Amino acid sequence: MFIEPNRMAQTTTEPALLECVSFDVFDTMLLRRCTTPTGVFEVACRLAGCDTTRPGLVESFTQHRSLAEAKARKAAVKETGSGEVAIEQIYARLPRHLFGLDELSVEDLAEAEFQAELALCVANPDILAFYRSAREAGMQTGFVSDTYWNGKRLGRLLATAAPGLTWDFLYASCDHGSSKSENLFRKVLVGETLKGRRMLHVGDNPVADVEAPRRLGIEAHFYRQASTYFAGLLQREGSTFALVSPSAAHGQRLDGGLRSLRRCVANRLATEADAFALGATVLGPIMAAFDRFVSEEIDRLSTDGRKVAVAFLARDGFLPHCVWTARKGPAAGYAEINRRAAALAAIDDATGFKPLLSGIEKIDHAGVVEMIGADSPHLRSFFVRQPGGIADGEALCSKLPALLGKETVSKLADSMRIGLFEHMRQAIPDFGVCTDLVLVDLGYSGSVQKGLRRAMKSAGLPMRLHGLYLLTKDDSLEADNGDTIRGFIDDLTVSPQTKLTLLSNIAVLEQLCSASDGSVRSYQDGKPVREPDVRDAAQIELSHQAQAGAIHFAEQLGDHQGSRLDGRVDFFGSRRHAGSANVAGRQLYRSLSRRWILLHSQGMRTPATRNPR
């Protein structure tokens, strides 16, 4: 159950009778910006000065750090009857020589890990709000934690993660030689002269934070880290991570806090079975990671006096544009340009109709007319002569200019170019003065960008084009004349074979990201003339709800990014650190596909009030 920040947790004791509220620290008041606590060990390894270029060294260090803790606790049980230890006792059992750390003391290594904790720990906004409401109500507040960090360091962690935070007491198990499941809560009651029924404890461990205090008559509230369903989802993602990303030997731990944020968002949802939840927990992280990628690339391009304009391409760019707008990114356009429009705008150049028809194995006369918007007696005669009235698109490409006539082809291209560029002037801020135009889309081969380049060359427009795509077919990409093409999920992020698997079911992502308007067919006075949207109303509504959930996640991301003293919590990491950090958002696509198919087969619908438009 989620603790609402504006009211006390529900307990069997009246809130007015409570005089004290205590909180667990890790995974309750503090969240770590890594997928598991071993992410702290990975950062500690780097801070200690290990040669992390050695293959396998980081992974070996993190495992040895866990083994050292297990050995220290086992020895402590034999000596004192309790497994509680301090961080120095743990590092005393680490084989320092193995990692070239002989010259460092146990205290040095402990300090390296503590600095890692300082770098990774952030305050949980939900628990922090509840904590402050308890203080405002005049209650004693404090922390009770099973930890190898002593009270001084634990207090420093809390104060760094939540500047200005104050408390009446703080009990660390290593200071008292007893865990919460043993006698630590009894020591709290004695030390603070409290009666159990007048105290509430909040924590995430069902044994240490719920069963143990209740044995002493202390009220307890379980703050779950994740539901059974969502925990299973995270486990499945973790198990497939290395398969999805060839560079993910150990970087899966350092995700910038994305998993912690997803858990917080999921805990607030009324249900995890609807499309809104799909958007909030899976689609939203993908779009937010892509949004970050786009933002970084635009910043990189905006140098050397360049004037950069940005356009999200309809229809698939609808959701990325919504997320960009929700994040309050720089001004960007939403341009309705598809492969057909871009190709037709350039059919009078040397490539002709090939970009439009070469990939079509079978097409009839009606299909050609529908696609190009033109007909001729010669074209009709051509199809009459074909077996069954069916032609191969590749073969048709070379014949179409003659079948239609040079004048018709020229008029088709001119008409589409005029309408297209007028639309771009109206839809894209600074289009008329930019030196560089960024095109944002789902992908995949950059066909729209290639068509635009040819059309712009014919029209004498000099600006460079830069395609930023969610998913790319890297062996199909090409750019020249200063143009660039970048893929967020490229072949260096996931293996090429995995990429083919993702692309085989890409229609799932396209539907979730798409606007409910039909695809553009032509332009009139710069305004798009659209085809009908062939999806049924229920399917469109399902997409709307998933989009609303994704936007909700983006908004939550913005709220959490301001929760540190320096105002920056980087959930997607920098490309300069932890090479696979950005993969955290990319690998979620598999979960997205699975859940979309399930929801669609069940006909799941959610209230229209969540419609993002």
Please provide the DSSP assignment of 321-350 as one string: HHHHHHTTPSP-EEEE--HHHHHHTTTTST
- The span from the CA of 516 to the CA of 530, in Å, is 11
> Does a cis peptide bond (omega within 30 degrees of 0) precede residue 339?
no
- Res 52: pLDDT: 86
Closest CA to 25 of 123, 117, 111: 123
- Res 471: pLDDT: 87
Angle at the Cα of 120 from the Cα atoms of 118 and 126, rounded to 5 degrees: 100
Q: Could you give the angle at which helices 106-120 and 151-161 cross, rounded to 10 degrees?
A: 30
Phi, psi (degrees; rounded to nearest 5) at 428: -110, 115
Phi, psi (degrees; rounded to nearest 5) at 314: -80, 155
Taking 3-state DSSP, the helix, strand and coil percentages for the chain, each rounded to the nearest 5, stand at 50, 10, 35
- Res 584: pLDDT: 44
Closest CA to 272 of 232, 299, 243, 310: 232
Q: Which two tokens stand for residue 558?
A: 């913005």
- The span from the CA of 587 to the CA of 34, in Å, is 16
- The span from the CA of 245 to the CA of 523, in Å, is 42
- Res 612: pLDDT: 34
What single-letter amino acid sits at 475?
Answer: D
CB atoms within 10 A of CB 286: 29
Cβ atoms 74, 83 nearer than 8 A: yes
Residue where the block lists tokens 């990189």: 300
Q: Which two tokens stand for residue 435?
A: 């030196």
Cα distances (angstroms) measured from residue 199 to each of 7, 160, 316, 357, 422: 16, 26, 53, 73, 68
277 burial (CB, 10 Å; 0-12 / 13-18 / 19+) is buried
Closest CA to 132 of 90, 89, 164: 164
Q: Which two tokens stand for residue 453?
A: 């380049």
Q: Strand order in 308-314's β-sheet? A: 333-336, 308-314, 436-441, 464-471, 484-489
Closest CA to 184 of 167, 205, 209: 209
What single-letter amino acid sits at 332?
Answer: A
Q: Which two tokens stand for residue 117?
A: 């904790």
Closest CA to 349 of 406, 415, 399: 406
DSSP 3-state of 475: helix
Cβ atoms 237, 280 nearer than 8 A: no
Cα distances (angstroms) measured from residue 354 to each of 340, 424, 470: 11, 24, 25
What is the β-pairing status of strands 436-441 and 308-314? parallel
Dihedral angle of Cα 70, 204, 580, 476, to the nearest 10 degrees: 140
Cα distances (angstroms) measured from residue 153 to each of 87, 150, 172, 517: 11, 6, 10, 56
Cβ atoms 61, 117 nearer than 8 A: no
- 256 φ/ψ sector (left φ>0, alpha ψ -120 to 50, else beta): left
Cα distances (angstroms) measured from residue 430 to each of 309, 360, 433, 434, 436: 6, 37, 5, 6, 10
141 sits in which H/E element: strand 140-145
**Which residue stretches of the chain have pLDDT < 70?**
1-16, 196, 236-252, 558-613
Q: Which residues of 313-347 are buried (b: 16+ CB within 10 A; e: fewer)?
A: bbbbbbbbbbbbbbbeeeebbbbbbbbbbbbbbbb
Dihedral angle of Cα 167, 173, 175, 178, to the nearest 10 degrees: 130
- The span from the CA of 125 to the CA of 267, in Å, is 13
Dihedral angle of Cα 122, 124, 129, 134, to the nearest 10 degrees: -100
What single-letter amino acid sits at 144?
Answer: V
Contacts of 9 (CB under 8 A, 6+ apart): 3, 130, 200, 202, 221
- Res 5: pLDDT: 39
- The span from the CA of 587 to the CA of 286, in Å, is 8
- The span from the CA of 243 to the CA of 442, in Å, is 22
